[in-house]
Amino acid sequence: MKEERLDKLLAAQGTWSRREIKDFVRRGAVTVNGKNVRTADVKITTDDEVIVFGKRIALKKHLYLMMNKPMGVVSASRGDDCPTVVDLVPAELKRKGLFPAGRLDKDTTGFVLITDDGAFAHDILSPKRHIPKTYIATLDGVLTQQVADAFAGGIPLKNEDKCLPAQLTILDDHTAQVVLHEGMYHQIKRMFAACGLHVEKLHRIAMGAMLLDETLAEGQCRELTAQELELVQNRDGLKE
Ligand code: URA
């Protein structure tokens, strides 16, 4: 377990600044494993019992949230006029540095992972890692096997390289499940447009092998467990 300075780990929780922490540590408000500490540079790990003003602090270096994104909300940390997914994170889960790992369009709904761990986000989004993202698309026209074959062959998009092969499963005449292994701008909409179809609704149901928790109402989020984070990083995606 990596050791970090007390003030650094406490500041990462997002409640206090380093300066505030140094100040209240000096005033004797903090105990580590039952001992009062007076300097903020003591080294601790996330396993240590840290009590601040009499309250046990659950130390976590990073936070990983699964949100069910509603329509009309932008996948960003800051938005000019529109609410962002980070705005929807409730106060008890808010901390500094949160951002969505990957973008869904404003009108796309479903699974968005929000974190403050840049390395993790980079890892799950890197095209080299091929972490599959699974969507349900509703189309204006009738789906055919030809469309599924075109997706499997890699759709050429204007001004871009050919898309990687994508798996399209026809669920009914107007609904398909699509699995992507990369994330280009408006990719699914543009892939269907190249086949003469317009996407009316798009909903992300999974990242890696981790399904969106259907008990989350639109706009709600919850923390992902360590086991669930491993599922997000699973390159095999959902089982058939
Ligand atoms: N493809 C799109 O076209 N939009 C999204 O939001 C995600 C994938």
Please tell me the predicted confidence (pLDDT) of residue 44. 94
* Topology classification of domain 64-232: Pseudouridine synthase (3.30.2350)
In whole angstroms, give the CA distance from residue 120 to residue 12: 16
Residue nearest to atom 4 of ligand 1 (CA): 186
> pLDDT for 105-120, tens place per residue?
999 999 999 999 999 9
In the predicted structure, residue 46 carries a pLDDT above the cut 90: no
In the predicted structure, residue 240 carries a pLDDT above the cut 70: no
Please tell me the predicted confidence (pLDDT) of residue 58. 79
> pLDDT for 206-228, tens place per residue?
999 999 999 999 999 999 998 99
Backbone angles phi, psi at 152, to 5 degrees: -65, -30
Whether 4-57 and 64-232 share one fold: the answer is no
Range from 57-61, 82-86, 163-167, 173-177 carrying the lowest mean pLDDT: 57-61
- Please tell me the number of Cα atoms within 13 Å of 223 on its side-chain side: 11
Q: How far apart are the first and last CA of the chain?
A: 37
* Mean predicted lDDT score pLDDT of the chain: 93
More reliable by pLDDT, 9 or 189: 189
Between the CA of 191 and the centroid of ligand 1 the distance, in Å, is: 10
Residues forming a β-bridge with 32:
35, 50
> pLDDT for 73-92, tens place per residue?
999 888 778 899 999 999 87
Site to substitute for ligand 1 among 189, 190, 212, most atoms within 8 A of C-beta? 189
Confidence of residue 175 (pLDDT cuts 50, 70, 90): very high
Report yes or no: 158 and 100 within 8 Å, Cβ to Cβ.
Answer: no
- Which one from 48, 105, 123, 213 is the annotated catalytic residue? 105
Report yes or no: 46 and 25 within 8 Å, Cβ to Cβ.
Answer: no
Question: Burial, 228: exposed, middle or buried (Cβ in 10 Å; 0-12, 13-18, 19+)?
Answer: middle
Which numbered atom of ligand 1 lies nearest the CA of 107? Answer: 6
pTM (two decimals): 0.83
**Residue 105 is among the residues annotated as catalytic for this protein:** yes
Q: Closest by alpha carbon to 156, among 133, 187, 131, 126?
A: 187
Between the CA of 151 and the centroid of ligand 1 the distance, in Å, is: 15
Q: Which residue has the tokens 């499963």?
A: 169
Residue nearest to atom 7 of ligand 1 (CA): 104
Q: What residue segments make up the domains of the chain, in order of their start?
A: 4-57, 64-232
- Listed in sequence order, the residues at least 6 apart from 125 whose beta carbon sits closer than 8 Å to its beta carbon are 101, 102, 131, 183
Residue nearest to atom 3 of ligand 1 (CA): 186
Residue nearest to atom 2 of ligand 1 (CA): 186
Which numbered atom of ligand 1 lies nearest the CA of 191? Answer: 3
Report yes or no: 106 and 151 within 8 Å, Cβ to Cβ.
Answer: no
Amino acid at 87: D
In whole angstroms, give the CA distance from residue 9 to residue 7: 6
Q: Which helix (H) or strand (E) holds 86?
A: none
Backbone angles phi, psi at 108, to 5 degrees: -90, 145
Between the CA of 89 and the centroid of ligand 1 the distance, in Å, is: 22
Please tell me the predicted confidence (pLDDT) of residue 1. 66
In whole angstroms, give the CA distance from residue 158 to residue 141: 22
Between the CA of 94 and the centroid of ligand 1 the distance, in Å, is: 26
Between the CA of 186 and the centroid of ligand 1 the distance, in Å, is: 5
Backbone angles phi, psi at 201, to 5 degrees: -145, 145
Residues with CB under 6 A from ligand 1: 104-105, 108, 186-189, 202
Q: C-alpha angle 178/99/157, rounded to 5°?
A: 35
Confidence of residue 151 (pLDDT cuts 50, 70, 90): very high
> pLDDT for 185-197, tens place per residue?
999 999 999 999 9
* Topology classification of domain 4-57: 3.10.290
Phi-psi region of 28 (alpha: psi -120 to 50; beta: other; left: phi over 0): left
The token duo for 73 is 């909300």
Q: Closest by alpha carbon to 152, among 126, 175, 170, 127?
A: 170
Which numbered atom of ligand 1 lies nearest the CA of 190? Answer: 3
